[in-house]
Amino acid sequence: MHLPDWLARRAAARPDRPALIAPGATWSFAELHGRADAVAARLAAHGIRPGDRVAILARNCADYVALIHAAPRCGATLVPLNTRLSPAELAFQAADSAVHLIAYDETHLGPAAQIPSPTLGTLSLDELRGSGVRGRESGGGSQGAGADSRLPTPDSRLPTPNPQIDLNAPHTIIYTSGTTGSPKGAMLSCGNHWWSATASALNLGLREDDRWLAVLPLFHVGGLSILLRGAIYGIPVVLHERFDPVAVNAAIDTQGVTIISVVAATLQRMLDARGETPYPPHFRCALLGGGPAPRPLLERCAALGVPVVQTYGLTESSSQAVTLSPADALRKLGSAGQPLLPVGLRIDVDGREANPGEVGEILLSGPTITSGYIGQPEATAEAIRDGWLHTGDLGHRDAEGYLYVADRRSDLIISGGENIYPAEVEAALLAHPAVAEAGVVGLPDERWGQAPAAAVVLRSPAAEAEILAFLRERLAAYKLPRRIIVRTELPRTASGKLQRRLLREIMSPHSSSADTGDQIGS
């Protein structure tokens, strides 16, 4: 199935409407369309052909957005690379996805240069824009400035960007965050993104004055999806290079932002920076994802009138899969909501459908779900069975069908035969006024097999006895952390998710990092 290119259609219908408001650039839909066309022509001039893969290693910026829309116009698949990865990790992803070209910004010239050169080498975003020095050629070093070091000027001999979008065509390969192991490249089609955007709009609604603030990195599906929704919906996107709570609050106040996508840690920082100042009436939705949300945070938002709408999704589902409707935000506090219209949801317990309230593995199906992982047929077959994506996440549905996410199956702590969900212990810790952040993992225990251990970031001093007494009022004895350490920060992914695997390594008694925090519990 083909659709008209959504950006081209928006540019034709409302050319002067703002499409992108980014640091150093404000582009209308006509301007963004023109930029995407120019970049597509330069990619084609450099040798990119349908079926090729173009990686990008860059911070959030306007040129990144242009490339997002340009790649499909040459039939290329975009491979966004995580800027926080090591050179070895970047090299793995570039090789695993067999990229033909790597685009980079000036900040990431060094890391890009350390990736083994793909077929067509590397190009800077400056050059794709039409200025700057050429990047590496395949197998060669840096080229000097001169007439022969510039890309050919686009002309009529180059392929004309396709005005149609094939919904079955690959659009992006996005690597899973790797919080529980080696990352895998999830293949997402144009149709996956289209259905994700459509489903989100059917749930959250659309308003003429909507503006979506993008602070998540664009190499993350949560960030990328906002830019695609902006073009599909015909609404402006306000793009920030990185998350800054003061800047985010200012954008909501002064730039008309109506929607923002956040995770619990970033929402907490927004509220801390905001104090008691209410948000303006036009701010209608803080879309909260990234894992189970601590109930104390949700209760704080409810008390302050912050319009939080919880969502559950993952890279493999093209972002949102289950989202609470705004009307249910307070009535179903703590729920991720119901599946978006085209998405199927099951809770699986040993191959059968779980009863209401019974915890099992979350399974998803529908047109937003990835077709699989590039180059990994065994991992694909393990994850997608009989049309259902086995997410590895645990949760339950209530009698009305609303989903409550418990935790990752791999994060479940089994202590003396009892199941302990880290998110539940973290929520209890976060309810303490002195605790700003909390992370809980299971560590080996000679008596119980596993025992919970916690790391916290404090906003004010707190004594061991005080915190443990606080927890005893809220948790069964077997759920109490046997060890609590204080750290200045917790390991997180670029999107703000807690990296339990790294936290487990840090807290292991045999880790060289184990003593970098102050122990306050035993």
Q: Which residues contact 483 (CB under 8 A, 6 or more apart)?
A: 443, 453, 454, 507, 519, 521, 522
Tokens coding 174:
């996005």
What average pLDDT does this structure show over 200-226? 96
Indicate if the pLDDT at residue 385 is higher than 80.
Answer: yes
How does DSSP classify residue 509? T
Indicate if the pLDDT at residue 402 is higher than 50.
Answer: yes
Best CA proximity match to 182, nearest among 112, 115, 92: 92
What average pLDDT does this structure show over 14-28? 97
Please give the pLDDT value at position 180: 45
Question: Tokens 């990092």 appear where?
Answer: 513
Helix (H) or strand (E) holding 3: strand 2-4
Indicate if the pLDDT at residue 134 is higher than 50.
Answer: no
**Mean residue pLDDT across the chain:** 88
The residue type of 384 is I
Cα 263 from Cα 129, distance rounded (Å): 33
Give percent of the chain above pLDDT 90: 70
What average pLDDT does this structure show over 239-260? 97
Name the pLDDT band for 181 (thresholds 50, 70, 90). Answer: low
* Termini Cα distance of the chain: 60
Q: Which residues contact 449 (CB under 8 A, 6 or more apart)?
A: 414, 415, 416
Tell me the domains of the chain and their CATH numbers.
2-142 (3.40.50.12780), 175-409 (3.40.50.12780), 412-521 (3.30.300.30)
What average pLDDT does this structure show over 322-350? 92
pLDDT in tens, 290-303: 877 788 888 889 88
Name the pLDDT band for 515 (thresholds 50, 70, 90). Answer: very low
Please give the pLDDT value at position 152: 41
pLDDT in tens, 499-512: 988 999 999 876 55
- Low-confidence winner among 183-197, 253-267, 319-333, 351-365 (lowest mean pLDDT): 319-333
What average pLDDT does this structure show over 27-56? 96
Number of Cβ atoms within 10 Å of the Cβ of 74? 24
Please give the pLDDT value at position 510: 63
Indicate if the pLDDT at residue 33 is higher than 50.
Answer: yes
Cα 396 from Cα 424, distance rounded (Å): 14
Please give the pLDDT value at position 410: 80
Question: Tokens 């900040």 appear where?
Answer: 107
What average pLDDT does this structure show over 111-115? 91
Please give the pLDDT value at position 520: 60
Tokens coding 391:
């997410």
The residue type of 286 is A
- Please indicate whether residue 316 or residue 87 has the higher confidence score (pLDDT): 316
Quote the crossing angle between the two packed helices 62-70 and 29-45, to the nearest 10°. 70
Number of Cβ atoms within 10 Å of the Cβ of 510? 6
Indicate if the pLDDT at residue 326 is higher than 50.
Answer: yes
* Radius of gyration (C-alpha) of the chain in whole angstroms: 23
Indicate if the pLDDT at residue 109 is higher than 70.
Answer: yes
pLDDT in tens, 48-99: 999 999 999 999 999 999 999 999 999 999 999 999 888 888 999 999 999 9
Best CA proximity match to 231, nearest among 59, 8, 70, 62: 8
Q: How many residues does the chain have?
A: 522
Name the pLDDT band for 327 (thresholds 50, 70, 90). Answer: confident
What average pLDDT does this structure show over 454-475? 90
**Helix/strand/coil (H/E/C) assignment for every residue in 367-431:** CCCCCCECCCHHHHHHHEECCEEEEEEEEEECCCCCEEEEEEHHHCEEECCEEECHHHHHHHHHC
What average pLDDT does this structure show over 157-173? 75
